[in-house]
Amino acid sequence: MHINNGWLTLAERILSPNIDDRPEGTAIDLLVIHNISLPPNQFGGGHIAELFTNCLNPAADDYFAEICGLKVSAHLLIDRLGAITQFAPFTQRAWHAGVSQFSGRERCNDFSIGIELEGADHIPYTDRQYDVLAAVTKALQTEYPNLQNDKIVGHSDIAPGRKTDPGEAFDWARYKKMLD
């Protein structure tokens, strides 16, 4: 797995309009793991890409009517089968963290990469998702040397009380062991 000009070579590319430039001179040194399912606790259907590209149909589900106006994105989505979709080059800022703080630094979107796992807090992730996430993480760590294992966190770690993902179903020990 390789990165070329901010793009993961094996990922499908769907560019989100919900990205912008990082502050000049900002080093990428944080990886944030998220989960998402649309509608909640349901997988497949392409609705995540629709959300990240501002194309979510509010009439398709009651929940979609609540969130269709959000302007959000992530750098990557890893679906239940391990397929990777990239919505923003790593060199740009994706809008995934919202109000957030890590080690006294606010605005985590400025210096982080956001990876969404198709999932839910209480539903186990697939073996394939762990394999792909570990491979992607290693590629990112090669490309961005400041992105060390102690700079990999969940959304809940940088937005406590506001976010819970990737949730109790995410096996941090398993994932971190795969990075050794």
> Which amino acids are annotated catalytic?
116
Using CA atoms, how far residue 119 sits from 33, 42, 78, 105, in Å, is 11, 8, 9, 28
- How far is Cα 22 from Cα 19, in angstroms, rounded to an integer? 9
CA distance linking residue 175 with residue 125, whole number of Å = 11
Token reading at 109: 């979107």
Residues 96, 90: contact at Cβ < 8 Å? no
